[in-house]
A and B are shown apart, each in its own frame.
Chain A
Amino acid sequence: DQQVKQNSPSLSVQEGRISILNCDYTNSMFDYFLWYKKYPAEGPTFLISISSIKDKNEDGRFTVFLNKSAKHLSLHIVPSQPGDSAVYFCAAGSTDSWGKLQFGAGTQVVVTP
């Protein structure tokens, strides 16, 4: 039973445009959310996080939006760059079970020149 879902396995976007990655979750106990980026032959690296007390968190070109009522979060990358081509994983956890994360299946992003 996957509690975190990324329904788009892939996304192609032109350099300079916005990339929007989506993630849905089912467990209402989740109260913090993270995005990870993964290049081939490397481990996932942390990108940005948000706690449930916020609805937006920004870090440079990356912004995460959280809609708790819809149990939905999204990652916006503006502007997209070729180096952003990677697999992006959404993850969620709860402070009741601190440290245990549930991951989505990932979205492969390809940024074309």
Chain B
Amino acid sequence: DADVTQTPRNRITKTGKRIMLECSQTKGHDRMYWYRQDPGLGLRLIYYSFDVKDINKGEISDGYSVSRQAQAKFSLSLESAIPNQTALYFCATSGGQGTTYEQYFGPGTRLTVT
């Protein structure tokens, strides 16, 4: 079974709708992240959480919110979706400071806002 799972894998929604993307992990990591990928821009950090009570904005948090429901679950919400939020969204996890550098990514959610 995958260590980091994301649901849904694909979603088409309309402008103005609220949508939630969910992420679960079985790696036992405290740290979780949400990124979006756009062509020519790589991956950009939306929000990150270093533990259940710690939520931080990334470089492109406007229009997004997150909830860390448990150590293993981190969800991303678009309160009122707009077309320029059409992108690939990835959840990732990592260990704490002093552990290895790597982040482990989920398979992604392809979101289209029409």
Contacts and interface: CB of A to CB of B under 8 A. Distances in A.
Contacts of B35: 103
Interface string B26-45: 00000101010000111111
B43 A93 contact: no
Nearest to B32: A99
B101 A93 contact: yes
Interface stretch (A42-50, A59-67, A73-81): A42-50
Contacts of B92: 43
Given A49-B102, A100-B48, A101-B103, A43 B4 contact: yes
B48 A89 contact: no
Interface residues of A, number: 27
A103 to B, nearest CB: 4
B90 A89 contact: no
B106 A34 contact: no
B34 to A, nearest CB: 12
The bracket for how many chain B residues form the interface is: 20 to 34
Given A42-B107, A43-B90, A103 B102 contact: no
B101 A105 contact: no
Interface in B40-80: 40-45, 48, 50, 58
Contact of B97 (A4, A9, A43, A98): A98
Given A103-B42, A103-B43, A105-B42, A46 B102 contact: yes
Nearest to B45: A100
A44 B107 CA distance: 8
A43 B23 CA distance: 13
Given A99-B50, A100-B48, A49 B90 contact: no
